[in-house]
Amino acid sequence: MVTDTPWETDKVYTKYTLWFIYACIIYSIIGFTWGALMGGIADFRYFVDHRMHGNLIVRAHTHINLLGWVEMAIFAALYYVVPRLVRRPIYSLKLVKWHFWVHNFGLIGMVVFFSAAGYLGGSASVTSTPSEVEHIVKPILATMGIFGTLVLLANFIWAYNLFRTCSGWEKN
C-alpha cells in the first residue's frame, strides 16, 4: 500500500482539482444563461438562425457547454478518482497546472472568436455580399482555430498525464 497520498496532503493538487470544478460551474452558468437568451429573445434567435454566419454564435454556446461545463467536470472527476484508483500520486502536478491554464485560455479564445465571427458575419450579411462577408469572417475563424488547437493540446497534456499516472499501477 502506498503511504504517499497527495490528494490528502498536497494543497496545490487539491486546489487545481477544485479549480476544474469551479470552472465547470462558471461555464455551466454562462452556457445555460446563453442558451436561455438565445431561445427566449426572438431577435437573438432570428439572428443566429437566419443571418449568414449567425450560427457561429450557437457554436460558441455549444463549446462553452461541452468544453467548459462537461469537460471540466470530467477532468476534475478523473483527477480526483484516478490517483485513488491506482493508489499513486498524479504523474505530474506541473502538467495539471498547464492543462488547466492552456485549456481555459484556448476555450475562452474559441468562444470569443466564434462569437465575433458570428456577430460580425451576421451583421455584415444585411448589407454585404456573401463573398464580402466571407472576407470578414475568414481571418476571425482562422484565429479561432489557433485557440481550438490550444484546447486540443491541453487535452493531450491531460491524456498523457493520466496515462503516465496509470502506467504500472499493478506494481503498487
Which domains does the chain show, CATH number per domain?
9-167 (1.20.120)
- pLDDT, tens digit, 9 for 90 and up, residues 36-93: 999 999 999 889 988 989 899 999 999 999 999 999 999 999 999 999 999 888 999 9
The pLDDT value given to residue 172: 61
Higher pLDDT, 21 or 10: 21
Amino acid 105: pLDDT: 98
Q: Is the pLDDT of residue 131 over 60?
A: yes
SS3 call for 1: coil
Average pLDDT over residues 11-37: 95
- As given in the structure block, the three cell numbers for residue 165 are 499516472
For helices 130-166 and 71-86, what crossing angle results, to 10°? 10
Q: Are 87 and 172 in contact (CB under 8 A)?
A: yes
Residues 6+ apart with CB under 8 A from 132: 124
How far, in Å, CA of 58 to CA of 162, rounded?
32
